[in-house]
Structure 1
Amino acid sequence: MTASSTSTAYESASGLVHGKFRFFPVRVVATRRLGPSMVRITFAGDALREFAGGGRDQSFSLFLPQPGQHAPIVPFDAGDGWFAQWRAMPEDERAVMRSYTVRSQNRRYHEVDVDFVLHGTGSSSSGPAGPASRWAAEAVPGDRAVLLGPASEDNRSIGFQPPEGTDWVLLAADETALPAAAAILEWLPEGLRARAWIEVPDLKDTQELLSPAEADITWLIRDPLRRPGSLLAEEIGGAVFPDGAPYAWIAGESGMVRTLRRHLVGERGIDRGRVEFSGYWRLGATEEDLRTEKITEAVAQDAGEAR
């Protein structure tokens, strides 16, 4: 297959749909450093006219090429069996897969912004550089990737779902969840009270965040000698909360997420149904480690139900 025919096949693969989700071949059109620990990459492509991100903490799977590859190798034609087929490929050939959230979407120009934390490539102390961090640090316009994301705004990959009767919102995020927290703040309705605590590795990683809500944002600069998330747990643990019914969203390092969830539910008495939590990463573990654990747990659960 020639390079031109490969490119044509790559671009036409966008029409393959898996439920409410679809593969979207894209290319890098711009990169911008946001601070020592983060870079914003703008992806574009005609396929993104069908991308239907619902805002907030909209997540998706990102496929990146292996070193030396022109484009990521993804089983576009495998239907609902794409994941099994992807896992069956040789590890050094199949695309690198990572989970990210959408920072913003420009529907007019068919673009999606994604903010990458540069683990191990800058001043971030959140862990060694992985393949996605290395790719993002070196990305240039023209580089290819594939998004597996929503073709419907009503999709299960949005966690932030405040129930009716919410009087105020609590956001707790480290740098990995900063893009989602920023998108949530932009989505909140005018007049709603919001308290946000965001922990980042470096003072220069702070950003100007906008919101129509009455948002009070506290930036916390991590001590590199302490565990990521420690400041978040301490600051929120000692904070005075507004009156009324809260809705809490916690995302970032798994240990921090567990600690804060226990605090909010066990010590603050917030109903479990009003606390949305997500471990975006775990100290000392790669995404492959976490994915393998989830697969093992799912297999064990299926085996138990079959007995």
Structure 2
Amino acid sequence: MSLQQLKLERSSASDAYRSAFADHELEVAPGDPKHQIIRATVCNVSAPAQHLRRIVITSPELVGFKLSGPDEFFGLFMPQVASGKLHLPIHTGGANIRASAAAMPDELRPDLRWYTVRSLNPEDGQLTFDVVTHGVNTPSHEGIGPGLRWVLSAQTGDEVAIWTCQGLWHRGQRCQTLIADPSAVPSVRAILEYTQTFAPDQLKDMHVRIIAESPHDLEPLLNPNWEDELGSFDVLFAPSEKFSETTIAHLRGLNYSQHPATQSKYVWIAGEGSLCKQVRRHAISTWKLPSESVQWCPYWFLGKARP
């Protein structure tokens, strides 16, 4: 490939990326967009890491679709039986899709779980999301929930649907700390890619902390891609039941060393429920941030499913 061809390819990729977002500034949190149910089919399944499954879905309704933010989340409707027929609720509007699904007969009701967008290609109508498998390899594994069971059995051509939601993060405060466990790392990477594209100078004032059980939970090249561009970047490792304890101990250590992350004006934390709660408490009580400057979103809860 010639240099000119390479430049054209990169320019085209950049244009496609930019077209995926409704707002290229995000100085304030995204507003609540109009929700809708979009039928889609699985078009690719891969494993970018040993404990990570990547699903790509496609739909004509995703052509031209725009995300409200890089950490956009959505509800995924899945048939109860792998590769089975998907029945969807009749929904008349509003944000309470759970109630509409709960009103369906048991034998028709689809499973509903929540994920975040890893990337969107609005030109091809393809949406990608990642799911941590926690080392589970088979859908028949005892004790796993319907989301992971579906992900482990997903095949090209399977029917799904998404309930469109919204992003939560904004870059209104320049100095930020982002904290995530593996379930939220795709959102962190999407936030960093957004910032790199639309506000690259802000990266040097952003501090990222990842807590995981194993490097196998994380998309490869996480560290080399970002540690030299950010204000600071660390990956911590601990068993999932000690995510909160390990993260808070690390944050306390930042205070002792007067690390610049402790001067953050905005904290974004997503992942396990207790982890989110404890980090929020630390940011408000120790870093003295107002509650509105701490965006926390529990993606899952240790020992129980989030509906």
TM-score with structure 2 length normalisation?
0.76
User: Where does structure 2 lack aligned partners over 5 or more consecutive residues?
Assistant: 1-31
Shift of 1:37: 2.1
What count of residue pairs does the alignment treat as equivalent? Answer: 258
Distance 1:219 1:98 in 2: 27
Between 1 and 2, higher relative CO (CA 8 Å, sep ≥ 6) is seen in: 2
TM-superposition CA deviations, 1:221-261 (whole Å, max 9, x none): 2236x433332222122124327552110111111111111
Matched with 1:143 is 158
Q: Is 2:300 the partner of 1:284?
A: no
Contact 2:132–2:183 (8 Å) recurs in 1: yes
SS in 2 for 1:264: helix
Mapping 1:118-267, distance limit 5 Å: 118-119=133-134, 121-122=136-137, 128-149=143-164, 157-163=166-172, 166-188=173-195, 189-192=199-202, 193-206=205-218, 207-209=220-222, 210=225, 214-223=230-239, 226-239=241-254, 240-242=258-260, 245-267=264-286
Contact 2:169–2:268 (8 Å) recurs in 1: yes
Q: Is 2:282 the partner of 1:269?
A: no
Distance 1:259 1:230 in 2: 9
Matched with 1:154 is none
- Give the direction of change, closer, same or farther, for the CA distance of 1:232–1:34 in structure 2 (3 Å limit): farther
What is the identity, as a one-letter code, of the residue corresponding to 1:93? L
Shift of 1:138: 1.6
Shift of 1:122: 4.7
Distance 1:186 1:68 in 2: 34
Contact 1:168–1:194 (8 Å) recurs in 2: yes
User: Where does structure 1 lack aligned partners over 5 or more consecutive residues?
Assistant: 1-17, 151-156, 289-307
Shift of 1:83: 4.5
Instruction: Extract structure 1 runs of 4+ deviating beyond 6 A.
Output: none
Contact 1:72–1:144 (8 Å) recurs in 2: yes
Contact 1:56–1:158 (8 Å) recurs in 2: yes
1:49 aligns with one of 40, 63, 67: 63
TM-score with structure 1 length normalisation?
0.76
Distance 1:190 1:114 in 2: 24
Kindly, what percent of the aligned residue pairs are identical? Answer: 26
SS in 1 for 2:80: coil
- Give the direction of change, closer, same or farther, for the CA distance of 1:273–1:200 in structure 2 (3 Å limit): same
- Give the direction of change, closer, same or farther, for the CA distance of 1:141–1:235 in structure 2 (3 Å limit): same
SS in 2 for 1:175: coil
TM-superposition CA deviations, 1:90-142 (whole Å, max 9, x none): 3342110111111100111110001112246259xxx9421110111121111
What is the identity, as a one-letter code, of the residue corresponding to 2:161? V
